[in-house]
Homo-oligomer: A and B are copies of this chain.
Amino acid sequence: MAHTTRDKAKLTARVKRLRGQVEAIERGLENEVGCAEILQLVASVRGAINGLMGELIEAHIREHVIDPAREPDQAKAEGTRELIEVLRAYLK
Protein backbone atom coordinates (compact mmCIF):
# COMPACT_ATOMS: atom_id res chain seq x y z
CA MET A 1 0.00 0.00 0.00
CA ALA A 2 1.42 3.41 -0.97
CA HIS A 3 2.27 5.61 2.02
CA THR A 4 0.06 8.37 0.60
CA THR A 5 -2.81 5.85 0.99
CA ARG A 6 -1.70 4.47 4.35
CA ASP A 7 -1.20 7.99 5.76
CA LYS A 8 -4.23 9.33 3.88
CA ALA A 9 -6.09 10.78 6.89
CA LYS A 10 -3.00 12.53 8.30
CA LEU A 11 -1.92 13.90 4.90
CA THR A 12 -5.47 15.00 4.02
CA ALA A 13 -5.77 16.92 7.31
CA ARG A 14 -2.45 18.59 6.59
CA VAL A 15 -3.43 19.58 3.05
CA LYS A 16 -6.76 20.93 4.35
CA ARG A 17 -4.79 23.18 6.77
CA LEU A 18 -2.69 24.30 3.79
CA ARG A 19 -5.88 25.12 1.88
CA GLY A 20 -7.07 27.11 4.89
CA GLN A 21 -3.84 29.15 4.75
CA VAL A 22 -4.39 29.83 1.03
CA GLU A 23 -7.98 30.87 1.75
CA ALA A 24 -6.60 33.28 4.39
CA ILE A 25 -4.62 34.97 1.58
CA GLU A 26 -7.86 35.27 -0.43
CA ARG A 27 -9.67 36.85 2.55
CA GLY A 28 -6.71 39.15 3.16
CA LEU A 29 -6.86 40.39 -0.43
CA GLU A 30 -10.65 40.75 -0.21
CA ASN A 31 -10.39 42.76 3.04
CA GLU A 32 -7.46 44.79 1.68
CA VAL A 33 -5.31 44.04 4.73
CA GLY A 34 -2.26 45.47 3.02
CA CYS A 35 0.91 44.14 1.49
CA ALA A 36 3.01 43.25 4.53
CA GLU A 37 0.32 40.95 5.93
CA ILE A 38 -0.25 39.34 2.51
CA LEU A 39 3.52 38.72 2.26
CA GLN A 40 3.51 37.06 5.70
CA LEU A 41 0.53 34.85 4.74
CA VAL A 42 2.23 33.79 1.48
CA ALA A 43 5.50 33.12 3.33
CA SER A 44 3.67 30.85 5.78
CA VAL A 45 2.10 28.85 2.91
CA ARG A 46 5.59 28.56 1.40
CA GLY A 47 6.95 27.19 4.67
CA ALA A 48 4.08 24.70 4.94
CA ILE A 49 4.49 23.41 1.36
CA ASN A 50 8.26 23.04 1.81
CA GLY A 51 7.67 21.04 4.99
CA LEU A 52 5.10 18.82 3.29
CA MET A 53 7.42 18.32 0.30
CA GLY A 54 10.31 17.25 2.54
CA GLU A 55 8.14 14.70 4.38
CA LEU A 56 6.66 13.27 1.18
CA ILE A 57 10.13 12.84 -0.39
CA GLU A 58 11.40 11.01 2.71
CA ALA A 59 8.29 8.80 2.83
CA HIS A 60 8.71 8.09 -0.91
CA ILE A 61 12.31 6.95 -0.31
CA ARG A 62 11.30 4.59 2.52
CA GLU A 63 8.29 3.19 0.66
CA HIS A 64 9.33 3.08 -2.99
CA VAL A 65 13.14 2.99 -2.94
CA ILE A 66 14.78 1.54 0.20
CA ASP A 67 13.62 1.45 3.82
CA PRO A 68 16.89 1.48 5.78
CA ALA A 69 15.16 -0.19 8.73
CA ARG A 70 14.27 -3.28 6.66
CA GLU A 71 17.03 -3.35 4.03
CA PRO A 72 19.27 -6.47 4.38
CA ASP A 73 22.12 -4.91 2.34
CA GLN A 74 23.87 -2.79 4.98
CA ALA A 75 25.78 -0.68 2.46
CA LYS A 76 22.53 0.30 0.73
CA ALA A 77 20.82 0.90 4.08
CA GLU A 78 23.68 3.21 5.09
CA GLY A 79 23.67 4.99 1.73
CA THR A 80 19.93 5.61 2.14
CA ARG A 81 20.34 6.97 5.68
CA GLU A 82 23.02 9.37 4.37
CA LEU A 83 20.67 10.47 1.54
CA ILE A 84 17.77 11.13 3.97
CA GLU A 85 20.08 13.11 6.26
CA VAL A 86 21.44 15.31 3.45
CA LEU A 87 17.94 15.93 2.05
CA ARG A 88 16.57 16.88 5.49
CA ALA A 89 19.25 19.57 5.82
CA TYR A 90 18.73 20.64 2.22
CA LEU A 91 14.90 20.75 2.19
CA LYS A 92 14.64 22.41 5.63
Point out residues on A near B: beta carbons under 8 Å.
2-5, 8, 11-12, 15-16, 18-19, 22-23, 25-26, 28-30, 32-36, 38-40, 42-43, 45-46, 49-50, 52-53, 56-57, 59-61, 63-66, 75-76, 78-80, 82-83, 86-87, 89-91
Chain B residues with Cβ below 8 Å from A38 are: 4, 11, 56
Chain B residues with Cβ below 8 Å from A33 are: 4
Cross-chain contact B12 with A29 (CB below 8 angstroms): yes
Cross-chain contact B49 with A86 (CB below 8 angstroms): no
Cross-chain contact B53 with A46 (CB below 8 angstroms): yes
What's the least CB distance linking A4 to chain B, in Å?
A: 5
A32 in complex: contacting residue of B2, B60, B63, CB < 8 Å: B2
Chain B residues with Cβ below 8 Å from A66 are: 65-66, 76
